[in-house]
Amino acid sequence: MAHTFEELVEKQRTADAAHAQVEQLRRQYGSPGSRSWSGQQSQTYETAWRAWRDLARDVQAAVTAYAKEHGEARPDTETRVRNAAGHPE
């Protein structure tokens, strides 16, 4: 599936937001395994983590396809997308 650069940036922003949610849950619940989480906390964390993982995978695949389609080096495309999305380092 072809993507525009703007679509890649939006995908990156969505993945970054999902990652921020995972980090927020880690701060709220404590590190995985550091203490006993309730069943609901474990389920909430796992759901958030899987969403982030899937979104990040989709971004990577889309960046790879875009770079190939446009004859660009993949790392260069990824850097441009992350910078445009305001990706936290």
**63 contacts 8 by C-beta, under 8 angstroms:** yes
Give the model's pLDDT for residue 2.
Answer: 64
pTM recorded for the entire structure: 0.88
Distance CA 32, CA 35 (A): 7
CA angle 16, 21, 27 (to 5 degrees): 125
Give the model's pLDDT for residue 86.
Answer: 93
The structure tokens listed for 17 are 């937001």
At 67, which amino acid appears? A
62-80 pLDDT, tens digit each: 999 999 999 999 999 999 9
Distance CA 35, CA 84 (A): 38
16-59 pLDDT, tens digit each: 999 999 999 999 988 766 667 888 988 999 999 999 999 999 99
Helices (H), the chain: 5-29, 39-69, 74-85
